[in-house]
Amino acid sequence: KEDFNFLLFYTAILVFLTLLLFYGRFELALITFLPMLISWIWILGICAILEIQFNFVNIIISTLIFGIGDDFAIFISDGYLKKYKTNNDTIRVNLKSIFLSALTTIIALGSLMFAKHPAINSIALISIIGMISILIISFFLQPFLFKWLIINRTDKKLAPITLSNFFSSLFSYTLFVGGSLFLSLLSLLVAFIPYSKKFFKPLFHFLIQKLCWLILFFALNVRRKEYNNEHLNFSKPSLLIANHQSFVDILQLLMLSSKIVLVVKDWVYYSPIFGRLIRYLDFVTISNGIENNLESIQQLIDKGYSIMIFPEGSRSQTEKLGRFHKGTFLIAEKLKLDITPILLHGYGNAIRKNDFLIKKSIVSYKVLPRISWNDEKFGVGYRDRSKEIKNYFSKELIRFSKERRGVNYLYGNIQSNIDYKGPIIEWYYKIKWRLEKNNYAYYDSLISSNAKVYDLGCGYGFLSCFLHLRSEDREIIGIDYDSDKVNIAQNYFMFKNLPNLRFSDQTILDAKLENPDVILLNDVLHYLDKKSQSSVLINCFKNLNENGVILIREGEKENKNHIFTKFTELLSTKFFRFNKADIELSFISGLYLNDLAKQFNFKIEEFKHSKITSNKLFILRK
């Protein structure tokens, strides 16, 4: 038994490290390794119950059984990963093959049960126990974990769970629940102290502010940005309004000051976890109508508290602003309260509605100038003011969102579609984004928000996805002749089946360009011979809409740094094999592009795109 444990322990370490190297992710290695680990425990337990003794032959047979079990686990993992990566569903075929393989092995080794020699008999028993254990675990545990981590979530367009996101979320929730329960219990205890409210209530408001700060500070996946805090003035109470995206934005707003009281729904007010604390802090419930709480709100204002309310009433499923309820502005009118608008961005991206996972994200808030309660610029009467302030808030939020939804913010959104697609593409994305993010931002600035864009040679579609996220009104068609890359791009969970974002696997020579406003040719022309290059460019020139733009990024062969460009392409095509090259690379001439532009009456601009290589950006306008 000791030899069995010793052998299995070191075999397990070797197998796990091999799986980790192959899959490139700890999560996938662990899921694939679990059947071996748990079956080891099952075999030891069942053998102890049945009093089966280990011998030299049993140890050898057990090692072979574990090897077969690893094969089964790998086949199941590969089946689920293939379905997630390319929507190629081979899971049922894999499971059927595994079951038949296990059945024939059990029958073959089980026949040894009829042997009269006890050693041979024990071989059969251990083989049957091991195979059945591995089969049950592989058929039930692995599918459950894959569906929970990846498949079921991405089917709902939710990001897959990673270990970093999971433990960061778990830590944040533990802080929140633990802190809330502790303060709730403490509030119950101090309630029995005579005349305690005057001293302890301000203290508890201070403690809840610091708890919110602590949770957001230790939320490792969330980076916070603040803008225009100078517009906050808690020395004079006001009505704070904000768009509502997730529970994280509540923590953010309560963190601003200890002099804030929140208007909440009944389920929050009577929550078993933090309801006691909410009621002790005099938070206002809307159960009987907000207009019926004016007296209690006035008392809080008299004590110097500002009132925080979400005019939408509930969290938005998207980042778009919902309808404002008029009751918010009735309070401001009746109590003569100034309004302090606060724009929130990214909080709904950090944690989606009806989800528990806190994703890697950048969250931001921006405080707008106070609106005086009697400022007629926003209308007269609470009904008119609700419409005017909603319009003002909406315009400012759109502007703020556009500022914040840049390359750094959208990096995590696109990355969540790349997770679990394989170590090569994951690292390729990280390196590619780091090198290209400023270029992506510049391309976006050149393209109108409703343009029809062809991304020729789109590869994995990183740029196409970025341009779509920057403006969903754009129609983007990505084309690449590498069907493997296109198949992966077509199955990004966030972008699957979108009408305004499509990917097609064909050569750019065969691409039918239908009224494009913008054509992107990023590092693609040098994979064609000179005749094909001319054919593609002429096709682009002829079909481009009036006032359209062609963006060509290529290595210019006349440039003195061209040798470095050729070296990087050699690494890309021959060594790392990120890109396919069927012919010898043929780089274009800047002089040729200028001549062609003049021939078709295009204006051309040139910009150096690298200090090391010969890469240049050519902007051609019709």
pLDDT of residue 29: 94
> Average of pLDDT values for 350-361?
88
| pLDDT higher than 60, residue 366 | yes
- pLDDT band for position 130 (50/70/90)? confident
Question: Which residue did the predictor score with more confidence, 372 or 582?
Answer: 372
- pLDDT band for position 578 (50/70/90)? low
Two domains, one topology: 2-155 and 163-403: no
Structure tokens at 124: 């059969």
How many CB atoms lie under 10 A from the CB of residue 9? 11
Amino acid in the structure at residue 282 = D
pLDDT of residue 54: 66
pLDDT more than 70, % of the chain: 95
Structure tokens at 330: 């009735």
Q: Which of 580, 583, 556 minimizes the C-alpha distance to 457?
A: 580
Question: Which residue did the predictor score with more confidence, 610 or 460?
Answer: 460
- Between CA 88 and CA 274 the distance in angstroms is 46
Question: Which residue did the predictor score with more confidence, 416 or 108?
Answer: 416
The second-level CATH assignment, the architecture, of 2-155 is Up-down Bundle (1.20)
User: Which class is domain 407-621?
Assistant: alpha beta
User: Could you state, in order of their start, the residue ranges of all structural domains in the chain?
Assistant: 2-155, 163-403, 407-621
> Average of pLDDT values for 320-329?
86
Over residues 148-168, the pLDDT tens digits come to: 999 999 999 999 999 999 999
pLDDT of residue 556: 81
| pLDDT higher than 80, residue 123 | no
- pLDDT band for position 2 (50/70/90)? low
| pLDDT higher than 90, residue 257 | yes
- pLDDT band for position 476 (50/70/90)? very high
pLDDT of residue 452: 97
**φ, ψ (nearest 5 deg) of residue 282:** 65, 30
pLDDT of residue 325: 86
pLDDT of residue 563: 78
- Between CA 108 and CA 118 the distance in angstroms is 17
Over residues 417-428, the pLDDT tens digits come to: 999 999 999 999
- pLDDT band for position 236 (50/70/90)? very high
Over residues 488-541, the pLDDT tens digits come to: 999 999 999 899 999 999 999 989 999 999 999 999 998 888 999 999 999 999
Whether the Cβ atoms of residue 157 and residue 493 lie closer than 8 Å to each other:
yes
* Mean pLDDT, rounded, of the chain: 88
| pLDDT higher than 90, residue 7 | no
DSSP states of 55-79:
-HHHHHHHHHHHHHHHHHHHHHHHH
Q: Which of 243, 230, 239 minimizes the C-alpha distance to 398?
A: 243
- Between CA 8 and CA 2 the distance in angstroms is 10
- Domain at 163-403, CATH from 2.60.120, 3.40.50, 3.30.450, 3.40.1130: 3.40.1130
476 has which bridge partners? 453, 501
| pLDDT higher than 80, residue 62 | no
Over residues 40-56, the pLDDT tens digits come to: 788 778 877 877 776 66
Structure tokens at 369: 């100038």
Measure Cα distances from 253 to 136, 245, 324, 347, 365 in Å. Answer: 49, 12, 19, 12, 9
pLDDT more than 90, % of the chain: 54
Reduce the DSSP state of residue 238 to 3 states and report it: coil
Q: Which of 283, 291, 295 minimizes the C-alpha distance to 327?
A: 291
**φ, ψ (nearest 5 deg) of residue 101:** -65, -45
How deeply is 554 buried, as exposed, middle or buried, from its count of CB atoms within 10 A (0-12, 13-18, 19+)?
A: buried
| pLDDT higher than 70, residue 208 | yes
Supply angle C-alpha 281, 353, 307, rounded to 5: 30
Question: Which residue did the predictor score with more confidence, 360 or 466?
Answer: 466
Most confident of 91-100, 184-193, 211-220, 470-479: 470-479
- Between CA 296 and CA 261 the distance in angstroms is 11
Over residues 13-39, the pLDDT tens digits come to: 888 999 999 999 999 999 999 888 888
Over residues 172-185, the pLDDT tens digits come to: 999 999 999 999 99
Question: Which residue did the predictor score with more confidence, 12 or 594?
Answer: 594
pLDDT of residue 571: 67
> Minimum mean pLDDT among 196-210, 319-333, 362-376, 573-587: which range?
573-587
| pLDDT higher than 60, residue 1 | no
pLDDT of residue 3: 63
Reduce the DSSP state of residue 503 to 3 states and report it: strand
- pLDDT band for position 464 (50/70/90)? very high
| pLDDT higher than 90, residue 188 | no
555 has which bridge partners? 615
| pLDDT higher than 90, residue 561 | no
Over residues 429-450, the pLDDT tens digits come to: 999 999 899 999 999 999 999 9
pLDDT of residue 138: 86
Whether the Cβ atoms of residue 144 and residue 333 lie closer than 8 Å to each other:
no
Whether the Cβ atoms of residue 324 and residue 390 lie closer than 8 Å to each other:
yes
pLDDT of residue 577: 67
